[in-house]
């Protein structure tokens, strides 16, 4: 893979699954990320079926993908190439740039919009379907992600000032900025690349058994590019 054709956009926060965006440009910026996930799986109480509902933070998702406790350098990222035809859900190491692919798209469809003043195409909405790969403690699954991204003059996903990352349709589309809802200090996150939401299923290996984990709904807030 030629990394110069991709740009890495960090994810500030998410609910129900984790991500950042990796797409194309010649320069990369490292941005911290936070994540939150709601997972629903099957359990029983005295033979009576019950829901098992858990909260997963970003490091929990990275641990699933790597099969080990993550380091502070590892973040989840969604890599998107400049023509928005391919996406990868990955674990990205901000120190050594190692990448572990968690999921890859089987389809990636977009609708774009241009700035009415400049005439330059600078926004797109997308719907993408990802197949989860067998890696770490993940045996498979799928995710459907829908959202919006800012684009630079080359058509690559890019970051803008957080104050400029606004869309009047976010509420109607089911998108929202969730950075402020996550624990920790996120005041240093001054850039955003867009918002997204998703749903799907993860097949998780635990105690030697594969369990189906539902991801009913989730929210993503994409921040800046990652180095």
pLDDT of 184 reads: 60
CA distance 17 to 124: 22
Higher-confidence residue of 37 and 151: namely 151
Average pLDDT on 174-182 reads: 77
pLDDT of 122 reads: 94
- Strands (E) located in the chain: 6-15, 21-23, 36-45, 48-57, 74-81, 87-93, 99-114, 121-132, 138-151, 157-158, 160-161, 191-192, 194-206, 209-225
pLDDT at 169 over 80: yes
Average pLDDT on 58-79 reads: 83
pLDDT at 49 over 90: yes
pLDDT at 16 over 50: no
Average pLDDT on 149-166 reads: 89
Average pLDDT on 191-216 reads: 92
């Amino acid at each position: 893979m030629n990394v110069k054709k991709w740009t890495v956009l960090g994810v500030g926060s998410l609910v129900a699954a984790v991500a950042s965006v990796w797409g194309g440009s010649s320069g990369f910026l490292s941005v911290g990320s936070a994540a939150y996930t709601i997972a629903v799986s099957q359990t029983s109480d005295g033979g009576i079926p019950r829901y098992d509902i858990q909260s997963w933070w970003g490091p929990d998702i990275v641990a699933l993908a790597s099969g080990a406790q993550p380091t502070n350098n590892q973040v989840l990222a969604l890599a998107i190439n400049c023509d928005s035809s391919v996406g990868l859900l990955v674990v990205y190491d901000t120190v050594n740039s190692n990448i572990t692919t968690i999921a890859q798209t089987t389809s990636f469809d977009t609708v774009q919009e241009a700035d009415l003043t400049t005439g330059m195409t600078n926004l797109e909405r997308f719907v993408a379907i990802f197949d989860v790969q067998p890696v770490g403690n993940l045996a498979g699954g799928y995710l459907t992600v829908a959202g919006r991204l800012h684009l630079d003059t080359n058509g690559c996903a890019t970051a803008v000032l957080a104050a400029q990352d606004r869309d009047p349709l976010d509420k109607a589309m089911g998108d929202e900025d969730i950075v402020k809802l996550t624990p920790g200090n996120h005041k240093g996150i001054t850039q955003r690349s867009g918002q997204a939401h998703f749903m799907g299923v993860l097949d998780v290996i635990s105690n030697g058994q594969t369990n189906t984990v539902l991801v009913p709904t989730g929210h993503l807030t994409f921040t800046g590019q990652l180095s």
